[in-house]
Amino acid sequence: MCLGIPGQIVEVTDGERQMAMADVSGVKREVSVACVAQGDLEDLVGKWVLIHVGFAMSIIDEEEAAETLEALRGLGEAQETLEAMAHGVSALEGTQ
C-alpha cells in the first residue's frame, strides 16, 4: 500500500537540488519538490503537499490536508509513520 502524508513546506533548503523542508504534524523532514516545482521554489513555502517516500507528489489545499491527516490518525497509520520519521531524524542527528 502506498501512503501519502500531507505536509506543509516551511523553507527551501537547496534550490539547486529542488529540496525543501516540510513539516508533517510537527516533524520536519527534507523532501524533494521536483515533482511540484513550477517557477520560483520560494512560492512553495506555506503550501501543503502530499508526500510519499521523500517526494512531494502533489500540491493540496489546507482543508484536504487536515481531512487526510485526521483520517490517517483514525486509522493509526499516521502515528506509525511519524514515529518512524522521528526515529530516522534522531538517527541522522547522532551521526553528525
Structural domains in the chain, CATH included, are: 5-94 (2.30.30.140)
Does the pTM surpass 0.85? The reply is: no
Mind listing the pLDDT tens digit for each residue in 36-88? 999 999 999 999 999 999 999 999 999 999 998 888 777 776 677 777 777 77
Distance, CA of 80 to CA of 73 (rounded, Å): 9
- Of 33, 14, 30, 22, the closest CA to residue 69 belongs to 22
pLDDT tens-digit map of 24-46: 989 999 999 999 999 999 999 99
Alpha-carbon distance of 5 to 65, in angstroms, equals: 8
Sequence length of the chain is 96
